Structure 1
C-alpha cells in the first residue's frame, strides 16, 4: 500500500515506518514538503494525509483537489487538539480526521475502516438492486447549500432565513417540524427567521435534511410518519451520547438511519431477501456526498463492531440510539468491548416517547 504524507515533519518518517512494521504493515510511505508535489503524482496512491496547513495550499483545498485526481485514495486530515472548530469543515474533503502527532495504530484503523466500508458498499447484490431503480432520490439540494452558507462565520440569521424561504415547501415542512412536540417547547413558531433563532444552526440544518430526505418516500402516510418520528428521536438521542462536533455527526447519522427505506427492493432485516436498508441507505448517502462518518454510522448501525476504529464513536452512538428507540436488542458485547456498557441504563432513561404517546 502506498501512503503519501504532505507537509508533516519528515523527521518522524523512521519512527512511523518502524511502528507500521510493528503492526505488520509493509506500506510504502512518502513524505512531501509541498502540496504541488502531491498534485503532480500520476501513479496510483492508496492514502493521502496532510494537516490544515501543508506547504503551499490549505489542507482542505489540497485534499479536495486530490479527490478529483485520485478518487479511489483514502484522504486523511490531521488536526491539532485546538482545531475542533474546523472538524466539520474538514469532513467535506477527508474520509478521516486524525489527531497530531500521527499514531501508526490510528492510521491503520482509519485506512482499514474505509476499506471495510467500500467492501460493504461494493456488494454486487446491492449494486444490482440500485441499478434497477429508475430514479434515485435526488441529493438534498437545500441542505447542501445551507451547509456551505453555515461555514461562513459572517452568515446572519437573516441570510439563512432568506435561503430557506426560496423553497416554500421546505420552509413549510421545517415550520411544521419546528412546532412539533420535539422542538416547540410549547411556543408556536410562525416564521423561518424565528425558527433559525430558536433552533440553532445545526438543529435547523437537520430539520431541512429531514424535510428533503423523507419528502419523496414511496411509503404510505402512516408508515412515513412512523419512520420520521423514529428518525427524529434517534437523532436527538444519538446527539446526547457524544460530545463536541462528534455529537452533530451522530445526530445527522441518526436522522438518516432509515433513509434506505426510500429505495425499493431493500429489506427490513438481515435475514430477509434483498440488501439491508442500512447498507442501501449508506450507499445513497455516499452518492449524495455526505461525510464518511455519517455514511459509516448508517451502514454499520446494526453491526458497529465490524468497524475497526477503536472506541465509541458515530456508528456506536447510532446503534445504541436506533436500537433503544426501536426497542430492539442493543449489542452489549460491543459496548463492553469499547468500555461504555455501564452507561447503558442511563441511556435507556434518555429515550423519548413516540409522538403518538407524547401527544
Structure 2
C-alpha cells in the first residue's frame, strides 16, 4: 500500500513511521509539505491512501481532499484532527470529503485499523455479487437531491444563514411541509410550535434540519406500503436521536445521520431483512450491505456508509473504540427491540452503559407513541 502524508513528517511520530516501515515492502510512505505537492504526487502515481494534517501552508485540508476525490476517487482519504479537543466537531466541508478522521497524536494501531477497515469496506462495496444483485433492480432510487444540496451549500460556505438554507428547503413544497410536520413532532419540538422554515432552521440547528430533510426524502421513496413506511420512518428517527446521545458532540451528527439511514436497504426490492432468519441458499443481498452500496452510489460520507454496512456486526469495522458503527448498532437494535451484541460492547469497554441506553430508548419510545 502506498501512503501519502501531507503536511510534513512532524505530524507522524518516528515510532509510527518505523512501524509502517517494518510492515514489509508492500507498504510505502511518501511525505510532501503542502497541498500543491500532494496533487502533483497523486496525479503522477497511484496512491492508495492520503493522510492530511489539520493545517497546510497553501490549501485548506477539505479543499485538498475534495480535489483528490475528483482526481482519484478510489484513494482512501484520511483527515487528521486535534485529539486534544475531542468535543470539537469536524467541519461540514471535511465530513463531506474525508473517509475517516484520526486523532493526533496518531498511534500505529489506530492507523493500521483504519486502513484495514476501509479496505474491507471498499472490497464489500465492490463485490461483483452485490453489484449484480443491485443491478437487477430496474430503477434505483434517486439521490436525496435537497439533502445533497444542503451539504454542498455548507461545504461551500459553512456560515450559510438560516434564510438561505430555508430558501433551499422551500423550493420543494412537499418536503418543506414534511419538515415542518416533523419539526413540530414530539421528537424535535420542546413545546412551542414552529410555523415557518426559517424558524425551523434557527431553532433546530442545521444538523437536525438536514436529518429531517433526509428523512422526508428517503422515506418518500416507493417500494413499501404507507403504514410500513411510516413505521420505518418513526423507528429510524428514534434510532437517529438515540445514536446522537451515545456519541460525543464531535461524532453525534454522523451517528444520527447513519442511524437514520441504517434500514434504507429495506426500501429496495429483492432485498432481505438481515434481522430475520434466512435460508442458506437465499441469493438476495442483505439490507445492510445493499443500503451501504446505495449510499455509496449517492456519494454520502464514508463513516455513514461504513456504519450502515456494519450495523449488525460493528466489530467488523476493525475500530477498537466505540464510534459511529457501534452507536448505530446499539441505537437501531434498541429502536427495533432486537438484541444488542453485548460481546462487542464488552470488547470496547461500553457494556456498563447498556442499561442506561435501554432507559433512554424506552423514553424515546414513549415520546414516539405520544407523538
| Cα deviations by residue, 1:25-48 (Å, 9 ceiling, x for unpaired) | 851111112333322232211111
Q: 1:32 to 1:331 in 2, by over 3 A?
A: same
Instruction: Identify the residue that residue 338 of structure 1 maps to in structure 2.
Output: 348
Instruction: Identify the residue that residue 207 of structure 2 maps to in structure 1.
Output: 202
Is contact 1:229-1:354 (8 Å) kept? no
Larger mean CA deviation between 66-75 and 109-118 belongs to 66-75
Q: Does 1:100 align with 2:116?
A: no
Please give the secondary structure, in 2, of the residue aligned with 1:79. strand
Q: How much is the aligned-residue C-alpha RMSD, in angstroms?
A: 2.1
Question: Residues of 2 paired with 1:191 and 1:298: CA distance?
Answer: 33
With normalisation by structure 1, the TM-score equals: 0.93
Question: Residues of 1 paired with 2:112 and 2:262: CA distance?
Answer: 27
1:111 aligned residue (115, 129, 142): 115
Is contact 1:20-1:27 (8 Å) kept? yes
Cα deviation, residue 220, structure 1 = 0.4
Instruction: Identify the residue that residue 240 of structure 2 maps to in structure 1.
Output: 235
Q: How does 1:1-359 map to 2 (within 5 A)?
A: 1-9=1-9, 14-21=14-21, 27-41=27-41, 42-80=44-82, 81-82=84-85, 84-150=88-154, 152-269=157-274, 271-272=277-278, 273=282, 274-351=284-361, 352-353=364-365, 357-359=369-371
Is contact 1:7-1:31 (8 Å) kept? yes
Residue ranges of structure 1 left out of the alignment (5+ in a row): none
With normalisation by structure 2, the TM-score equals: 0.90
| Cα deviations by residue, 1:271-304 (Å, 9 ceiling, x for unpaired) | 4331111111111111111111111111111000
Cα deviation, residue 356, structure 1 = 6.8
Is contact 2:187-2:368 (8 Å) kept? no
Please give the secondary structure, in 1, of the residue aligned with 2:30. strand
Cα deviation, residue 86, structure 1 = 3.5
| Cα deviations by residue, 1:8-56 (Å, 9 ceiling, x for unpaired) | 2369575333222566785111111233332223221111111133343
Divergent runs of 4+, >4 A? 10-14, 21-26
Please give the secondary structure, in 1, of the residue aligned with 2:18. helix
Cα deviation, residue 176, structure 1 = 1.5
Residue ranges of structure 2 left out of the alignment (5+ in a row): none
Cα deviation, residue 197, structure 1 = 2.5
Cα deviation, residue 317, structure 1 = 0.3
Please give the secondary structure, in 1, of the residue aligned with 2:269. coil
**How many equivalent pairs are there?**
359
Cα deviation, residue 353, structure 1 = 1.6
Cα deviation, residue 65, structure 1 = 1.5
Q: 1:16 to 1:26 in 2, by over 3 A?
A: farther
Cα deviation, residue 157, structure 1 = 1.7
Cα deviation, residue 91, structure 1 = 2.0
Is contact 2:11-2:53 (8 Å) kept? no
Question: Residues of 2 paired with 1:23 and 1:319: CA distance?
Answer: 32
Question: Residues of 1 paired with 2:241 and 2:78: CA distance?
Answer: 28
Please give the secondary structure, in 2, of the residue aligned with 1:107. helix
